[in-house]
Protein backbone atom coordinates (compact mmCIF):
# COMPACT_ATOMS: atom_id res chain seq x y z
CA UNK A 1 0.00 0.00 0.00
CA UNK A 2 2.93 2.39 -0.67
CA UNK A 3 3.13 4.39 -3.86
CA UNK A 4 6.45 5.24 -5.48
CA UNK A 5 7.79 8.68 -4.50
CA UNK A 6 7.33 10.00 -8.05
CA UNK A 7 3.53 9.72 -7.66
CA UNK A 8 3.36 11.69 -4.41
CA UNK A 9 1.43 14.98 -4.77
CA UNK A 10 2.94 18.16 -3.41
CA UNK A 11 1.72 18.87 0.16
CA UNK A 12 -0.33 21.91 -0.81
CA UNK A 13 -4.13 22.22 -0.71
CA UNK A 14 -6.07 21.22 -3.81
CA UNK A 15 -9.46 22.74 -4.60
CA UNK A 16 -11.64 21.19 -7.28
CA UNK A 17 -15.28 21.45 -8.35
CA UNK A 18 -16.94 18.02 -8.14
CA UNK A 19 -20.48 16.84 -8.75
CA UNK A 20 -21.36 17.21 -5.07
CA UNK A 21 -19.93 20.71 -4.60
CA UNK A 22 -16.42 22.02 -3.90
CA UNK A 23 -13.87 19.41 -2.89
CA UNK A 24 -10.72 20.28 -0.99
CA UNK A 25 -7.72 18.07 -0.32
CA UNK A 26 -5.86 19.47 2.67
CA UNK A 27 -2.46 18.11 3.74
CA UNK A 28 -1.97 17.08 7.35
CA UNK A 29 1.21 18.87 8.36
CA UNK A 30 1.80 16.38 11.19
CA UNK A 31 1.89 13.34 8.90
CA UNK A 32 4.04 13.38 5.76
CA UNK A 33 1.58 11.90 3.23
CA UNK A 34 -1.77 12.28 4.93
CA UNK A 35 -4.72 14.16 3.46
CA UNK A 36 -8.14 15.35 4.56
CA UNK A 37 -10.87 15.43 1.93
CA UNK A 38 -13.77 17.84 2.43
CA UNK A 39 -16.75 18.56 0.21
CA UNK A 40 -18.40 21.94 0.78
CA UNK A 41 -16.30 22.14 3.96
CA UNK A 42 -17.80 18.96 5.43
CA UNK A 43 -15.15 16.31 6.25
CA UNK A 44 -15.50 13.30 3.95
CA UNK A 45 -12.33 11.22 4.24
CA UNK A 46 -8.89 11.12 5.77
CA UNK A 47 -6.13 9.07 4.16
CA UNK A 48 -2.54 8.40 5.20
CA UNK A 49 -0.80 7.00 2.14
CA UNK A 50 2.14 5.74 4.22
CA UNK A 51 -0.03 4.05 6.85
CA UNK A 52 -3.48 3.07 5.57
CA UNK A 53 -4.18 1.36 8.90
CA UNK A 54 -4.34 4.81 10.51
CA UNK A 55 -8.00 5.85 10.68
CA UNK A 56 -8.58 9.40 11.84
CA UNK A 57 -12.39 9.57 11.90
CA UNK A 58 -14.15 7.87 14.81
CA UNK A 59 -17.00 6.40 12.76
CA UNK A 60 -14.52 4.99 10.23
CA UNK A 61 -12.71 3.19 13.05
CA UNK A 62 -16.05 1.67 14.07
CA UNK A 63 -16.67 0.45 10.56
CA UNK A 64 -13.14 -0.99 10.67
CA UNK A 65 -14.06 -2.85 13.87
CA UNK A 66 -16.84 -4.55 11.92
CA UNK A 67 -14.32 -5.53 9.24
CA UNK A 68 -11.83 -6.78 11.85
CA UNK A 69 -14.46 -8.94 13.55
CA UNK A 70 -15.92 -10.37 10.31
CA UNK A 71 -13.32 -13.15 9.98
CA UNK A 72 -10.01 -14.35 11.40
CA UNK A 73 -7.20 -11.82 11.26
CA UNK A 74 -5.68 -11.49 7.79
CA UNK A 75 -8.29 -13.64 6.05
CA UNK A 76 -9.09 -12.19 2.60
CA UNK A 77 -12.69 -11.09 2.12
CA UNK A 78 -14.86 -9.90 -0.71
CA UNK A 79 -15.90 -6.41 0.36
CA UNK A 80 -18.22 -4.03 -1.46
CA UNK A 81 -18.23 -0.35 -0.52
CA UNK A 82 -21.16 1.88 -1.39
CA UNK A 83 -19.71 5.38 -1.29
CA UNK A 84 -16.06 5.94 -2.07
CA UNK A 85 -14.71 9.24 -0.83
CA UNK A 86 -10.93 8.97 -0.76
CA UNK A 87 -11.11 5.14 -0.42
CA UNK A 88 -10.05 5.11 3.23
CA UNK A 89 -11.63 1.77 4.17
CA UNK A 90 -10.72 -0.03 0.93
CA UNK A 91 -7.09 0.93 1.58
CA UNK A 92 -7.44 -0.33 5.16
CA UNK A 93 -8.82 -3.69 4.01
CA UNK A 94 -6.06 -4.06 1.42
CA UNK A 95 -3.46 -3.45 4.14
CA UNK A 96 -4.98 -5.67 6.83
CA UNK A 97 -6.41 -8.43 4.63
CA UNK A 98 -4.11 -8.79 1.60
CA UNK A 99 -5.68 -10.61 -1.31
CA UNK A 100 -9.17 -9.26 -0.64
CA UNK A 101 -11.33 -8.46 -3.66
CA UNK A 102 -13.01 -5.08 -3.27
CA UNK A 103 -15.50 -3.07 -5.31
CA UNK A 104 -16.12 0.60 -4.60
CA UNK A 105 -19.22 2.33 -5.98
CA UNK A 106 -19.21 6.13 -6.09
CA UNK A 107 -21.66 8.27 -8.07
CA UNK A 108 -19.52 11.43 -8.09
CA UNK A 109 -17.35 10.94 -11.15
CA UNK A 110 -15.41 14.19 -10.66
CA UNK A 111 -14.56 13.18 -7.11
CA UNK A 112 -13.32 9.79 -8.33
CA UNK A 113 -11.10 11.56 -10.86
CA UNK A 114 -9.65 13.83 -8.18
CA UNK A 115 -8.86 10.90 -5.87
CA UNK A 116 -7.35 8.86 -8.72
CA UNK A 117 -5.12 11.80 -9.68
CA UNK A 118 -3.98 12.96 -6.25
CA UNK A 119 -4.34 9.86 -4.04
CA UNK A 120 -3.89 6.91 -6.41
CA UNK A 121 -4.22 3.32 -5.28
CA UNK A 122 -1.60 0.70 -6.26
CA UNK A 123 -2.40 -1.45 -9.28
CA UNK A 124 -2.17 -4.62 -7.16
CA UNK A 125 -4.50 -3.42 -4.40
CA UNK A 126 -7.44 -5.61 -5.43
CA UNK A 127 -9.64 -2.50 -5.43
CA UNK A 128 -11.94 -1.85 -8.40
CA UNK A 129 -13.75 1.48 -8.57
CA UNK A 130 -17.12 1.92 -10.29
CA UNK A 131 -18.69 5.27 -11.16
CA UNK A 132 -22.36 4.48 -10.59
CA UNK A 133 -25.39 5.04 -8.39
CA UNK A 134 -25.14 2.69 -5.40
CA UNK A 135 -28.69 1.33 -5.57
CA UNK A 136 -28.66 0.73 -9.31
CA UNK A 137 -25.30 -1.01 -9.11
CA UNK A 138 -26.51 -3.17 -6.25
CA UNK A 139 -29.67 -4.18 -8.10
CA UNK A 140 -27.59 -5.40 -11.06
CA UNK A 141 -25.15 -7.38 -8.89
CA UNK A 142 -25.27 -11.20 -8.55
CA UNK A 143 -26.65 -13.04 -5.54
CA UNK A 144 -24.34 -13.96 -2.67
CA UNK A 145 -21.30 -12.25 -4.15
CA UNK A 146 -20.01 -10.33 -1.11
CA UNK A 147 -18.85 -11.16 2.40
CA UNK A 148 -19.17 -7.58 3.59
CA UNK A 149 -21.25 -4.68 2.29
CA UNK A 150 -20.34 -1.29 3.74
CA UNK A 151 -22.54 1.73 3.01
CA UNK A 152 -21.27 5.25 3.61
CA UNK A 153 -23.22 7.24 1.06
CA UNK A 154 -24.08 10.89 1.57
CA UNK A 155 -25.54 13.24 -0.99
CA UNK A 156 -24.20 16.45 0.47
CA UNK A 157 -24.79 15.98 4.18
CA UNK A 158 -27.67 13.47 4.04
CA UNK A 159 -28.20 9.82 3.17
CA UNK A 160 -30.20 9.64 -0.09
CA UNK A 161 -33.78 8.46 0.34
CA UNK A 162 -33.48 5.53 -2.07
CA UNK A 163 -30.86 3.94 0.22
CA UNK A 164 -33.13 3.86 3.28
CA UNK A 165 -35.99 1.53 2.32
CA UNK A 166 -36.99 -2.10 2.80
CA UNK A 167 -36.62 -2.63 -0.94
CA UNK A 168 -33.03 -1.41 -0.76
CA UNK A 169 -32.33 -3.57 2.32
CA UNK A 170 -33.57 -6.63 0.45
CA UNK A 171 -31.08 -5.94 -2.31
CA UNK A 172 -28.31 -5.60 0.26
CA UNK A 173 -29.24 -8.94 1.82
CA UNK A 174 -29.47 -10.61 -1.58
CA UNK A 175 -25.90 -9.79 -2.61
CA UNK A 176 -24.49 -11.01 0.70
CA UNK A 177 -23.69 -14.64 1.38
CA UNK A 178 -25.52 -16.47 4.16
CA UNK A 179 -22.89 -15.31 6.66
CA UNK A 180 -22.51 -11.85 5.14
CA UNK A 181 -22.53 -8.63 7.12
CA UNK A 182 -24.01 -5.26 6.21
CA UNK A 183 -22.69 -2.13 7.93
CA UNK A 184 -23.94 1.40 7.32
CA UNK A 185 -22.88 4.82 8.56
CA UNK A 186 -25.85 6.95 9.56
CA UNK A 187 -26.16 10.32 11.27
CA UNK A 188 -29.00 11.44 13.50
CA UNK A 189 -29.87 13.13 16.78
CA UNK A 190 -32.65 13.09 19.34
CA UNK A 191 -35.46 12.07 19.07
CA UNK A 192 -33.85 9.68 16.54
CA UNK A 193 -36.76 9.36 14.15
CA UNK A 194 -34.47 8.46 11.25
CA UNK A 195 -32.32 6.00 13.19
CA UNK A 196 -35.38 4.27 14.63
CA UNK A 197 -36.91 3.93 11.17
CA UNK A 198 -33.69 2.38 9.89
CA UNK A 199 -33.64 -0.12 12.73
CA UNK A 200 -37.21 -1.13 11.85
CA UNK A 201 -36.35 -1.27 8.15
CA UNK A 202 -33.29 -3.50 8.47
CA UNK A 203 -35.07 -5.73 11.01
CA UNK A 204 -37.55 -6.74 8.30
CA UNK A 205 -34.67 -8.36 6.38
CA UNK A 206 -31.90 -9.13 8.87
CA UNK A 207 -32.63 -10.97 12.14
CA UNK A 208 -29.42 -9.81 13.82
CA UNK A 209 -28.71 -6.12 14.45
CA UNK A 210 -26.17 -4.11 16.45
CA UNK A 211 -25.57 -0.40 16.85
CA UNK A 212 -22.22 1.29 17.58
CA UNK A 213 -22.11 4.91 18.76
CA UNK A 214 -20.71 7.23 21.38
CA UNK A 215 -22.73 7.31 24.62
CA UNK A 216 -23.33 11.06 24.20
CA UNK A 217 -24.96 10.43 20.84
CA UNK A 218 -27.02 7.50 22.10
CA UNK A 219 -28.25 9.64 25.01
CA UNK A 220 -29.38 12.33 22.61
CA UNK A 221 -26.94 14.97 23.83
CA UNK A 222 -25.62 15.71 20.37
CA UNK A 223 -26.11 14.93 16.70
CA UNK A 224 -23.60 12.36 15.49
CA UNK A 225 -22.64 9.27 13.55
CA UNK A 226 -23.94 5.80 14.34
CA UNK A 227 -22.83 2.56 12.73
CA UNK A 228 -25.63 0.05 12.23
CA UNK A 229 -24.59 -3.58 11.64
CA UNK A 230 -26.91 -6.28 10.28
CA UNK A 231 -26.62 -9.95 9.41
CA UNK A 232 -28.57 -13.18 9.07
CA UNK A 233 -26.17 -14.89 11.46
CA UNK A 234 -25.29 -13.99 15.08
CA UNK A 235 -22.90 -11.06 15.33
CA UNK A 236 -19.88 -11.14 17.62
CA UNK A 237 -21.13 -8.20 19.66
CA UNK A 238 -18.71 -8.93 22.52
CA UNK A 239 -15.71 -8.49 20.21
CA UNK A 240 -17.22 -5.35 18.71
CA UNK A 241 -17.86 -3.94 22.18
CA UNK A 242 -14.28 -4.57 23.30
CA UNK A 243 -12.84 -2.79 20.28
CA UNK A 244 -15.29 0.11 20.48
CA UNK A 245 -14.61 0.61 24.20
CA UNK A 246 -10.85 0.71 23.61
CA UNK A 247 -11.01 3.67 21.21
CA UNK A 248 -9.64 7.08 22.17
CA UNK A 249 -13.30 8.20 22.08
CA UNK A 250 -15.02 5.08 23.42
CA UNK A 251 -18.26 3.89 21.89
CA UNK A 252 -20.97 1.56 23.08
CA UNK A 253 -22.57 -1.40 21.32
CA UNK A 254 -26.32 -1.92 21.64
CA UNK A 255 -28.06 -5.11 20.54
CA UNK A 256 -30.87 -7.45 21.48
CA UNK A 257 -33.67 -6.12 23.74
CA UNK A 258 -31.98 -2.73 24.22
CA UNK A 259 -31.92 -2.15 20.49
CA UNK A 260 -35.52 -3.29 20.07
CA UNK A 261 -36.53 -0.79 22.76
CA UNK A 262 -34.67 1.94 20.91
CA UNK A 263 -36.55 1.14 17.71
CA UNK A 264 -39.84 1.31 19.61
CA UNK A 265 -42.87 1.39 17.35
CA UNK A 266 -41.07 2.84 14.36
CA UNK A 267 -42.41 1.60 11.03
CA UNK A 268 -40.22 0.20 8.25
CA UNK A 269 -39.59 2.59 5.37
CA UNK A 270 -40.86 1.73 1.90
CA UNK A 271 -39.68 3.24 -1.35
CA UNK A 272 -42.96 5.11 -1.70
CA UNK A 273 -42.41 6.98 1.58
CA UNK A 274 -38.62 7.19 1.79
CA UNK A 275 -36.98 10.51 2.67
CA UNK A 276 -33.33 11.51 3.11
CA UNK A 277 -31.73 11.47 6.53
CA UNK A 278 -31.98 14.72 8.53
CA UNK A 279 -29.54 17.50 7.80
CA UNK A 280 -26.98 17.97 10.58
CA UNK A 281 -27.14 21.19 12.57
CA UNK A 282 -24.61 23.86 11.65
CA UNK A 283 -21.15 22.97 12.86
CA UNK A 284 -21.97 19.34 13.70
CA UNK A 285 -19.25 17.97 11.41
CA UNK A 286 -17.03 20.98 10.81
CA UNK A 287 -13.28 20.48 10.23
* 21 Rama class: left (phi>0) / alpha (psi -120 to 50) / beta: left
Say if residues 3 and 94 touch (Cβ distance below 8 Å).
Answer: no
Q: What is the pLDDT of residue 5?
A: 47
Q: For 261, list phi and psi in degrees, rounded to 5.
A: -65, -40
Q: What is the pLDDT of residue 11?
A: 77
Say if residues 213 and 224 touch (Cβ distance below 8 Å).
Answer: yes
Q: What is the pLDDT of residue 281?
A: 85
Q: For 124, list phi and psi in degrees, rounded to 5.
A: -100, 20
Q: What is the pLDDT of residue 156?
A: 77
pLDDT under 70: residue ranges of the chain: 1-10, 283-287
> pLDDT tens digits for 20-50?
999 999 999 999 999 999 999 889 999 999 9
Q: Which pairs from 14-19 meet CB under 8 Å and 24+ separation?
A: 14/114, 14/118, 16/110, 16/114, 17/110, 18/108, 18/110, 18/111, 18/114, 19/107, 19/108, 19/109, 19/110, 19/111
Q: What is the CATH number of domain 58-273?
A: 3.40.50.150
Q: Domain-by-domain residue ranges, the chain? A: 58-273
Q: What is the pLDDT of residue 284?
A: 65
Amino acid sequence: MHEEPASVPEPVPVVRAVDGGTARLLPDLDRARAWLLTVDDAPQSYVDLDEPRHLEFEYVRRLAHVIDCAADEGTPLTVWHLGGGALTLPRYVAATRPGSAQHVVEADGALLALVAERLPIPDDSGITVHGADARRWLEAAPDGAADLLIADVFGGSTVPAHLTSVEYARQAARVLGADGIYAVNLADGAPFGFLRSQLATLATVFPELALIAEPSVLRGRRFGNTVLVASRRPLDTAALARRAAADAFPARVEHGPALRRRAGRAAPVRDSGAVPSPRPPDGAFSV
